[in-house]
């Protein structure tokens, strides 16, 4: 073990010496060669133990991430199912990229970034476990349909690829596998959950499914004009014109290409004036006056009503009763709520521009 560590240190020393002697044009080549040599040492030289040590130091090094995936080293477990360290680090890096490139969110501190990552991965794995129990699968047809929807919001597939790459550092296929597939799975699990006779005795709440056509008011001086335009569309609907066709023609948000469909939602999801109107309507009814919200004027059609089982409450209960293990020295966001203040035994990770460090400030990026 000592010889192996010396070998790794020797490689790192040689890399540093080469960088000092090389011309700038050679630096990228030498860095690539050094990382390949490092990977060979990790994989071939009894590397499991070296990689495991680097994982416990929260290394973001590409060679360590690759080797940790090869050895299937876990960062956490939920009910015996592993969350791979490589997936944790990949998602940390991606979230860092996303928040750095997004102007819609405020600053996110290092602990929040780690908490969001491990929380998302654990929740997605639990949904996968429930999906198996309910015999839910995500089919290639499901994925292709959602992929087509995403691309349709851009000029072409290349534009979609570019946007995803800029925002997340992923290609479109990776984005779909890591983000879209879990979303589809959760949606299908919710549907199966509502129909499952084996899941009973839960509290229910009222849900509605509604569609809308949104007319934004960009300048308050045009408020009357926009309201009149919305009223004219209501009159056309009353004369028998198709809601989906008019949503495609006049809609201004992402629902316009789906007939204005907002899907199912309970109370507390929409802005109050929209919620009050929707829940006060009957299936098939269309609002006879434009509904003004902070987003503009809405024409609302109520499509369906139902008493729904509390899926979020059920999943929250499942999570609380799951066996969750955090296997690397990061904060456990689920342990804090259950532990008295100051008794969290895990060491929070600090994620900076150069990698992740412990609370003692020692950088562990190799």
**HEC letters along 208-275:** EEEEEEEECCCCHHHHHHHHHHHHHHHHHHHCCCCHHHHHHHHCCCHHHHHCCEEEEECCCCCCHHHH
Assess whether pLDDT exceeds 90 at residue 130.
yes
Q: What is the pLDDT of residues 299-315, one digit of tens each?
A: 999 999 988 888 888 88
Question: Is the full-model pTM beyond 0.95?
Answer: no
Assess whether pLDDT exceeds 70 at residue 354.
no
- Asked whether residue 303 is domain-assigned, the answer is yes
- Asked whether residue 163 is domain-assigned, the answer is no
Residue 212: both structure tokens together: 């809308």
pLDDT at 97: 82
Q: Which CATH number goes with the domain that contains 247? A: 3.10.50.40
- Asked whether residue 149 is domain-assigned, the answer is no
Q: What is the pLDDT of residues 50-61, one digit of tens each?
A: 334 333 444 444
Whether 254 and 295 have beta carbons less than 8 Å apart is answered as no
pLDDT at 159: 92
Whether 167 and 101 have beta carbons less than 8 Å apart is answered as yes
- Asked whether residue 324 is domain-assigned, the answer is no
DSSP 8-state class, residue 290: P
pLDDT at 334: 63
Q: Which domain holds residue 240?
A: 205-308
pLDDT at 1: 47
Q: Which of 235, 190, 192, 211 is nearest to 283 (CA)?
A: 211
- Asked whether residue 228 is domain-assigned, the answer is yes
Assess whether pLDDT exceeds 70 at residue 19.
no
Assess whether pLDDT exceeds 70 at residue 223.
yes
- Asked whether residue 220 is domain-assigned, the answer is yes
- Asked whether residue 245 is domain-assigned, the answer is yes
- Averaged confidence pLDDT in the chain: 76
Q: What is the pLDDT of residues 78-126, one digit of tens each?
A: 999 998 888 888 888 888 888 887 777 777 877 788 888 888 888 899 9
- Asked whether residue 209 is domain-assigned, the answer is yes
Distances in Å between the Cα of 43 and the Cα atoms of 10, 38, 39, 241 are 16, 9, 6, 66
pLDDT at 311: 86
Q: What is the pLDDT of residues 268-292, one digit of tens each?
A: 899 999 999 999 999 999 999 999 9
Q: Please give the tally of structural domains in the chain.
A: 1
Assess whether pLDDT exceeds 80 at residue 319.
yes
Integer Cα distance of 117 and 277 in angstroms = 37
Q: What is the pLDDT of residues 152-211, one digit of tens each?
A: 888 899 999 998 888 888 899 998 998 899 989 999 998 899 888 777 777 788 999 999
pLDDT at 99: 83
């Amino acid at each position: 073990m000592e010889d192996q560590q010396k070998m790794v240190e020797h490689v790192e020393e040689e890399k540093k010496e080469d960088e000092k002697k090389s011309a700038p044009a050679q630096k990228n080549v030498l860095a690539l060669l050094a990382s390949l040599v490092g990977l060979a040492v990790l994989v071939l030289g009894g590397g499991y133990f070296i990689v495991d040590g680097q994982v416990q130091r929260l290394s973001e090094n590409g060679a360590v991430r690759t080797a940790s995936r090869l050895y299937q080293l876990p960062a956490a477990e939920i009910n015996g199912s592993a969350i791979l360290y490589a997936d944790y680090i990949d998602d940390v890096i991606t979230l860092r990229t996303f928040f750095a490139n997004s102007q819609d969110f405020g600053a996110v501190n290092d602990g929040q970034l780690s908490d969001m990552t491990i929380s998302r991965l654990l929740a997605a794995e639990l949904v996968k476990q429930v999906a198996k129990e309910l015999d839910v699968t995500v089919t290639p047809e499901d994925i292709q349909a959602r992929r087509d929807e995403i691309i349709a919001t851009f000029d072409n597939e290349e534009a979609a690829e570019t946007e995803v790459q800029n925002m997340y550092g992923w290609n479109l296929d990776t984005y779909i596998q890591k983000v879209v597939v879990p979303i589809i799975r959760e949606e299908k699990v919710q549907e199966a959950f509502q129909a499952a006779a084996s899941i009973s005795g839960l509290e229910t709440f009222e849900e509605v499914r509604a569609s809308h056509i949104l007319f934004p008011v960009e300048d308050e001086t045009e408020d009357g004009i926009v309201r009149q335009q919305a009223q004219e569309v209501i009159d056309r609907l009353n004369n028998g014109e198709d809601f989906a066709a008019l949503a495609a023609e006049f809609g201004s948000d992402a629902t316009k290409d789906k007939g204005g469909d907002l899907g199912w939602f309970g109370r507390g999801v929409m802005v109050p004036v929209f919620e009050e109107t929707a829940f006060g309507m009957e299936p098939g009814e269309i609002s006879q006056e434009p509904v003004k919200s902070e987003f503009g004027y809405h024409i609302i059609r109520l499509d369906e009503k139902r008493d729904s089982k509390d899926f979020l409450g059920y999943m929250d209960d499942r999570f609380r009763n799951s066996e969750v293990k955090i296997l690397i020295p990061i904060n456990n966001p689920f342990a804090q709520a259950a532990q008295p203040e100051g008794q969290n035994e895990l060491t929070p990770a600090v994620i900076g521009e150069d990698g992740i460090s412990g609370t003692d400030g020692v950088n562990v990026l190799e």
